[in-house]
Amino acid sequence: MAEFDRAAAKAAGYTDAEIDAYLAAQKPSAPQRTAPAVPRVAAESTAAPSVMSNRQRQVQQLVKRQERQEAMRGAVAAIPTAIANVSRDIPGAEAAQAFVRSLVRRQPYGEALQDIRGAEAALPASVRIPTRLAGSALATAVAPGSTLARQGAAYGAAMGLTEASPEVNVAERAGRAAGQAALGAAAGKVASVLGTGMRAQATPTAESTLLQQQAAREAAATPKYTAFRELGDLAENVATPEQGARLEGVLELPVVRRAIDLVKGESPRLNKLPDSDAQVLDAVYKRLGRKSFMSETGFETGEAVDELLGVMDDLSGGQYGPAVQAYREGSQRIAATERGAAMIAAGRPSRATLKSALEQSEESMPQWIARATPEERQAALQGVLGELRQLGPYDLISPVGVGFRGGPSLVPGARRALRASNLANMLEGRQLVAGTPARRAMTPAGVRELSRAAVTSQFVPGGRR
């Protein structure tokens, strides 16, 4: 029997599978007798297996190559469907695709929608799920809202209202919009909390930040203070009678006189210097700024402090004011960081100092945020994130939170994370601060107050016409 020419058959258009099936059909079904063994030379006996092995490898390589090509063609063919799947979770996009398909292919809208959904369902899960997540993330990112929770709520409501199925009526759309808005808001809040936690891990701890701020304050203010103290007796710098009279008037103020006596009584070195010496006046100015001095003496030091600062700056050629300003700005940043850290440290025994400092403040955190400068809000945010980073297992499972079976609860730790997220939103201006006029105007009581004010201005004599 002549050897079958496989190459010629493939050139004629037959596949390997068809060729193998044909060869199998040509083999005789009856068992054949074993031919007598004939001695062969070594080269002749080993050549046939080697040739068959090479052919098998070639067939396997051909099959694998064909499989890869088929997979590539399938992936290329699925690209348009994958792109459409990305936009499926964009509000209104699926309905728009079905509408365009119905016009182009002249088919009913419902059939076009089912075709689109069927093609998307046929995609592999490894493609379908990531593309839908990417589309929903993109739509949420561009949704209106200052926080992730509000963006999630807006996105969920839009998805419910723009449902592509024509069978969904208005009432069902409204219900779906409300449910998906609540779900989107919850998902946005969870994402915000997780994002705040990730930011906290990339932020230095509150203790480290405070040490850096204290060092920066000293580096900025100390050289200026040192230069001022080396000026000696400021009375020697008096150039006009007005300056001399102003210096004498300040030194004779009862509250300044009391502070001079205190600082000289505590320091033998200062006691040897005249009252108008720069070192004495520097110590007096700092003593007047202490709350303990005011509570002990009963003096109101506000006007005296301002007058003393003006005289010292005038007679020093403008050297003392910058020193005070540099120290004050550094102290404000430190206080802001401590305040932010204290809001997260509540209930932590190891941070009792921060907690007591916060309780001694006469302002609530929302009130403070409303009046704080951008630099102070940024420092407070550093404190919030830095303190959140320092939370350990003991702090997350706080003893003040008790579970259903009497054991420790994760609720206090979750509350701290949620509080940190809310504070970050307020400090960065993405969330209205409770207690501010803008926030009160959005509450029911604020709306009623504004309504009464509008009615009064319209009808009360003397009001706006």
Q: Output the six-digit token pair for 37.
A: 């063994």
Task: Spell out where 1-132 has E strands.
Answer: none
Residue 272 — pLDDT band, cuts 50, 70, 90? very high
Identity of the amino acid at 346: A
- The pLDDT tens digits of the residues spanning 116-132 come to 888 777 777 777 778 77
Q: Residue 431: pLDDT band by 50, 70, 90 thresholds?
A: low
The percent of residues in the chain predicted with pLDDT above 70, rounded, is 68
**Whole-number pLDDT of residue 91:** 83
Q: Quick one: pLDDT at residue 76?
A: 52
User: Which whole number is the average pLDDT over 240-258?
Assistant: 91
Confidence at residue 38, expressed as pLDDT on a 0 to 100 scale? 47
* DSSP assigned state of 433: P
Whether residue 440 is predicted with pLDDT greater than 70 in this model: the reply is: no
Residue 48 has pLDDT above 80, yes or no: no
- Nearest of 413, 345, 352 to residue 384 by alpha carbon: 345
Higher pLDDT, 411 or 53: 53
Based on DSSP, count helices (H) and strands (E) in the chain, helices before strands: 23, 0
- Residue 301: predicted pLDDT: 65
Q: Within 10 A of 281 (CB to CB), how many other CB atoms are there?
A: 31
For 118-136, b where at least 16 C-beta lie within 10 A, e where not — what string? eebeebeeebbeebbeebb
Q: pLDDT band for position 295 (50/70/90)?
A: confident
Is the predicted pLDDT of residue 325 greater than 80, yes or no? yes
Of the candidate ranges 269-273, 300-304, 419-423, the one whose mean pLDDT is the lowest: 300-304
Q: Where are the alpha helices (DSSP H) in 316-433?
A: 320-345, 352-360, 365-371, 374-389, 393-396, 411-427
Asked if pLDDT for residue 222 goes beyond 90, the answer is: yes
Task: Compute the distance between CA of residue 324 and CA of residue 301 in angstroms, rounded to an integer.
Answer: 16
Give the model confidence (pLDDT) of 49-100 as tens digits: 444 467 666 667 777 776 776 666 555 555 666 666 676 777 888 888 888 8
Tokens 């004010």 map to which residue?
453
Residue range 156-213, pLDDT digits in tens: 888 888 888 888 888 888 888 899 889 888 888 888 888 888 888 888 988 899 999 9
Q: In this predicted structure, which of 253-262, 353-362, 395-404 has the lowest mean pLDDT?
A: 395-404
What's the confidence (pLDDT) of residue 97? 82
Overall average pLDDT of the 4-27 stretch: 71
The residue among 212, 206, 242, 175 whose CA lies nearest residue 386 is 206
Q: What are the angstrom distances between the C-alpha of 394 and each of 193, 205, 347, 398?
A: 20, 17, 11, 6
Q: In this structure, what DSSP letter does residue 289 have?
A: T
Least confident span in 37-46, 177-186, 332-341: 37-46
Query: Mean pLDDT for the chain?
Result: 75
More confidently predicted of 4 and 322:
322
